[in-house]
Amino acid sequence: MSTPFSLFIPRDSGMHRLHPLTKLTLVGFCLVGGLFFPGIWLTYIAFLVIILPLAAWGRILRPFLSAVIKTTLPFAVSLVLVQGLFWPGGTPVLELGPLSFKEEGLIFAARGTGRILMIVSSFLLLTFTTRADELMLTLSQKGVPDNIAYIMLTTLQIVPRFQSKANTILDAQRSRGLETEGNLLTRARALLPLIQPLLLGSIVDIEERAIALEVRAFGRRGSKTTLLVLHDTTWQRVMRWLLVLATLAVLAWRIYLWLEPRIQG
């Protein structure tokens, strides 16, 4: 069960107790790995060997897998359909009447899905196991300006906030007789009376939240204090450096693979 307006799932776990910077460094590695791992399967192996065990360590395996499937599956299905069926030329591997799946398209879809899986799952792992305030403090302590750190924090909260506001507006419109169930056209038509109050209401919310922040001296310059305490350990510092080295190694490997044919040519 996540906390209201946050993706964080409170659990008593080692993963939750990790310093946010350690988890951020892992996300950085997964981002670079997801984008630059060569071949098809390394991203899937990294997901199975690194990310999934960490989710199990964080005792969030079930909601984590559910969220990963919900976010990755639509991309995977559309990639397989679009790239598999409409790859120009290519070798047919499966015929379905006039349609045929091409081997090259399916390989491209598998590679793309692996990249999305690795990047999305690492971000979900971070947000499910890290309190937003601790993440904000970590960023501030590392020199990120407070307002930028706050924007990053609210970005994590924006999806559940938007969802809640949209549900309230939808309920209000339904109570006035708006049809929201039925065929695609009816559902599309129901979106219009939802979008306008949602957007206008969100602008008012942003304005009021900005005032609330100013009232609490958020814009004040000078030294600030905090009640939050972040625990760091030597082994985590070592892990972070290893992750940084691994990220640089992935980048170097990718650059080598890119340069190799040019050097030989």
Residues 156-175, one symbol each (x = binds other proteins by CB under 8 A, - = not), give: -x------------------
- Residue number with CB closer to other proteins (6 or 129): 6
Does 205 contact other proteins by CB under 8 A? yes
- Contacting range for other proteins; rule: CB under 8 A; set: 22-30, 32-40, 210-218, 236-244: 210-218
220 makes contact with other proteins (CB under 8 A): yes
Query: Of the candidates 66, 78, 163, 226, which one interacts with other proteins according to CB under 8 A?
Result: 226
Which is nearer to other proteins, 175 or 225 (by Cβ)? Answer: 225
What are the two backbone dihedrals, phi and then psi, of residue 11, each rounded to the nearest 5 degrees?
-145, 155
Q: What spatial distance separates the first Cα and last Cα of the chain, rounded to whole Å? A: 57
Does 222 participate in binding other proteins (rule CB under 8 A)?
yes
121 binds other proteins (CB under 8 A): no
> Among 154, 173, 180, 236, which residue interacts with other proteins (rule: CB under 8 A)?
154
Instruction: Kindly state whether residue 191 participates in binding other proteins, applying the rule CB under 8 A.
Output: no
Of 2-31, which residues contact other proteins (CB under 8 A)?
3-6, 8
* From 11, 59, 131, 189, residue interacting with other proteins (rule: CB under 8 A): 131
> Residue from 48, 224, 241, 257 that binds other proteins (CB under 8 A)?
224
Q: Cα separation of 159 and 154, whole Å? A: 9
Q: Which of 214, 230, 248, 252 binds other proteins (CB under 8 A)?
A: 214
Q: Which residues contact 194 (CB under 8 A, 6 or more apart)?
A: 166, 169, 170, 173
Shortest distance in whole angstroms from residue 229 CB to other proteins: 9
Q: Between 172 and 211, whose beta carbon lies closer to other proteins?
A: 211
* Residue 132 touching other proteins (CB under 8 A): yes
Measured in whole angstroms, how far is the alpha carbon of residue 92 from the centre of its chain?
A: 34
Contact between 199 and other proteins per CB under 8 A: no
